[in-house]
Structure formats: C-alpha cells, structure tokens
Amino acid sequence: MHISKMSLQENTEWSAYYDQTNYDEQAFNLKKEFIQKWTADINAKKVVDLGGNDGTFSKVALTDANQVIVCDIDQSAINDCYTNSIKHKEFNIIYCIRFNAACSKYRIP
C-alpha cells in the first residue's frame, strides 16, 4: 500500500509565519547573513534545519551546503517549502515532518 494522493485542507498557525514575523527587515537580513557566513566558515555540506518552517533560512544554507533537511511539525509550512522548492527546481532539499494522523491537516483519500 502507498499514498497516491494527499491534499492540504487548511492553513495552520505557522503556515504564514513570515507574513507576521517578529523580525524587522534588518534582523531578518542579519539572520540570513549569519547563516550564510556560518555554513561557509564550517564548510557545511549537509545541514539539518529543525523548526525550519517554510525553508526560508534552509535555502540560505544551500549557498554552501550540498543538501538541507528541513524538519517541522507544521504540515502547511513544509508543504509551502516543498511547493516553492519544486517551483524553483531546488532538488537538494529533504522534507521531514512529524506526522500524526489523528490531528493531521492532511486528508488521505
């Protein structure tokens, strides 16, 4: 048995996190710069982003890393990361989600 189709039913608390973030633009850009410099300084090839949301900062790590694993508990955020990565042909991202069928926003037909 395998899943042949999956659809997201609604947005979640974290799916629009960066629309209403607690970062101002300067802090947001400083965090991006820090991640890029840090991955370059340690010569990171693989990065795991725990609580990666939609992958905004994970993708910054791809400047130097060959692969990023984005982990989150929010299905909508990971879905946004996935669809955005496919749209931009970023195939070196692995998506990890804590899946609980009892409280999932996904419906498996």
By DSSP bridging, strand 67-72 and strand 93-97 are: parallel
Residue 74, in any domain of the structure: yes
Give the model's pLDDT for residue 34.
97
Distance CA 25, CA 10 (A): 28
Distance CA 96, CA 109 (A): 21
Residue 39, in any domain of the structure: no
The token duo for 39 is 């991955």
State the total domains in the chain.
1
Q: 67: domain CATH number?
A: 3.40.50.150
The whole domain housing 92 covers 45-99
What torsion, rounded to 10 degrees, do the Cα atoms 75, 99, 94, 81 define? 0
Q: Contact at 8 Å (CB) between 90 and 55? A: no
Predicted TM-score (pTM) of the model is 0.74
Residue 22, in any domain of the structure: no
**Residues in the chain with pLDDT values less than 70:** 1-10, 13-17, 20-21, 99-109
Residue 60, in any domain of the structure: yes
Q: What is the pLDDT of residues 4-23, one digit of tens each?
A: 555 565 677 666 667 766 77
